[in-house]
Amino acid sequence: MQIIPMKKIVLTAAGLLALTTTTLVSADLAVIANASLKIPALNQEQAQQLFLNKSTDYSQQKIVVLSNESGTNALFYKQVVKMSASKFRSYWSTQVFTGKGSAPIYLNSDSEVLDFVAKNKGAIGFVDADTVGKEVSTLLIIPSG
């Protein structure tokens, strides 16, 4: 019978765990803004207020929502605005049809969101953190899992 050193077993287990984490769990979420918006790093509550049109700290935001069925999208509703996607839409209808805010723009991919946020003054959105480049500013990272 071969004896496997204890240390090696632990290392193998750790390696397996690391592998599962990277393959099964989706990436972190990055809240991004157009570079013209002078918004410092945010915490979750401040990001929530921004996406729900409740913030009085910064003016004229255009909200962009990633609408594909990605883990990033699920993370946004669960960890940032803390409401279901349909409740978010329902909430926004109360803002739009009372003239209190401009309707969020729903886009289908990280690249479309990045492109829109980079090009539109006052735009705020969120994408998979791995896709963010220098064209936008990152305000908050929500870790996955």
Partner 1 sequence: MRFTPALLGAMLIAPYSFADIQFNGFLSAVGGKALDSPINGYEKDITFNNDSLFGLQARADISEKLSVTGQIVSLGENDFATELAWGYIAYKANNNLTLRMGRFRIPLYYYSDFLDVAYAYPWVSPSDDVYNLQLDNINGMDAIYKWTAFNAINVELQAYYGAINGDYKVNNTDDVLSAQTRDNLGFVASLGYSGFTLRTSVHQAQLSINNIDDIAAITALKTGVNQLTGIDSLKEAANNVLANLTVTDVASDYYEVALHYDGDYFFAVAEVANFSFESGPFAEQKRSLFSLGAPIGATVIYGSYSKADDESVNLSGELAAKKAGLDTLVAGLNALSTAFTVEREIRSLGVRYDFEPGAAFKVQYDNIEIVNQKNSNNVLRFGIDVVF
Q: Smallest Cα–Cα separation from 118: which of 130, 104, 133?
A: 133
Please say which residue, 22 or 43, places its beta carbon nearer to partner 1.
43
Please say which residue, 70 or 89, places its beta carbon nearer to partner 1.
89
Q: Smallest Cα–Cα separation from 87: which of 77, 97, 79?
A: 77
136-142 vs 123-128, strand pairing mode: unpaired
Site string for partner 1, 36-75 (x = CB under 8 A): ---------x---x----xxxxxxx------x--------
Q: Supply 116's token pair.
A: 């829109």
Please say which residue, 71 or 101, places its beta carbon nearer to partner 1.
101
Rounded to the nearest whole angstrom, what is the least distance from the CB of residue 110 to partner 1 in the complex?
A: 19
* Rounded Cα–Cα distance for residues 40 and 111 (Å): 23
98 contributes a contact to partner 1 by CB under 8 A: yes
